Amino acid sequence: MSNFKTKTMKTTKLLAILFISVLSFTACSDNDDHGHDDHDHGEHEEEITQLIYKLTNTADSADVVTFTFTDEDGEGGANGTKEVSGNLTANATYTGALELINLEELEDVGAEIAEEDAENHEIFYITNVAGLKIDTTDVDANSNPLGFDTDITTGSAGTGILTISLVHEGKKPNDGTTTDAGGTLDIEVVFELTVE
């Protein structure tokens, strides 16, 4: 009888330990998954899947040129698409406005950056088109260039490229180049550009 009691107690203890172990393992697994989901969700929210740079001629509001980059499946999927709606007019002045969007979340990433994290970001516009000048007109809280708003002046007719780069945690102030700014690129798109 006492042998039966001892075996029953050992079995009960073993089952109790096993039950507690299963609960602990399940609890840890749930926490790990939850943390992983939060991390992925946070990074996903910041992903930029569309860039729109709209230029409006200050002397002719009907003269609007839009540069659009769209990559709906984000980084690592299919290549994104680029579209330029037309050519810039020679010897003209344009105002520019840049939008950065996360299409999946329907989120205005650019507005969030401007409102909450402008000091850690800067947008660069680099071109090899002769006579084309792009000046940033908005600044962060430290009066350093931000780059969502720009003034553009064109010279004579010509063709070339326009590179738009969003740098995160770069040096501010800098010499106006991504090389001097350092940091990391959140997005960089190269467009073909024509002035006529």
Domain boundary assignment for the chain: 1-46, 47-195
pLDDT above 50: residue 193: yes
| Residue 103 amino acid letter | L
* Average model confidence (pLDDT) across the chain: 83
Span 47-195: which CATH code?
Answer: 2.60.40
Q: How confident is the model at residue 46 (pLDDT cuts 50, 70, 90)?
A: low
pLDDT above 60: residue 98: yes
pLDDT higher for 194 or 34? 194
pTM, entire model: 0.77
What lies within 8 Å, CB to CB, of 8 at 6+ separation is: none
Place of tokens 């102030």: 173
pLDDT above 80: residue 166: yes
What pLDDT, on the 0 to 100 scale, is given for residue 42? 35
pLDDT above 60: residue 34: no
pLDDT average, residue stretch 28-54: 53
Place of tokens 């205005």: 108
Percent of the chain with pLDDT over 90: 72
Q: Give the angle 167-107-137 at the CA atoms, nearest 5°.
A: 45
Q: Give the angle 186-112-95 at the CA atoms, nearest 5°.
A: 80
Sign of the Cα pseudo-torsion (72, 194, 188, 108, in order): negative
Q: In what order do the strands lie in the sheet with 158-168?
A: 121-127, 158-168, 184-195
What pLDDT, on the 0 to 100 scale, is given for residue 90? 98
Q: How confident is the model at residue 77 (pLDDT cuts 50, 70, 90)?
A: confident
pLDDT average, residue stretch 85-95: 98
Over residues 10-25, the pLDDT tens digits come to 544 544 444 444 433 3
pLDDT average, residue stretch 124-145: 98
Q: How confident is the model at residue 73 (pLDDT cuts 50, 70, 90)?
A: confident
3-state secondary structure at position 1: coil
Place of tokens 């002035």: 195
Dihedral angle computed from the Cα positions of residues 177, 182, 188 and 194, in that order, rounded to the nearest 10 degrees = 10
What pLDDT, on the 0 to 100 scale, is given for residue 128? 98
Q: How confident is the model at residue 136 (pLDDT cuts 50, 70, 90)?
A: very high
> Which residue from 56, 140, 147 is spatially nearest to 99, judged by alpha carbons?
147
What pLDDT, on the 0 to 100 scale, is given for residue 39? 29
- Specify which residues 108 forms β-bridges with: 101
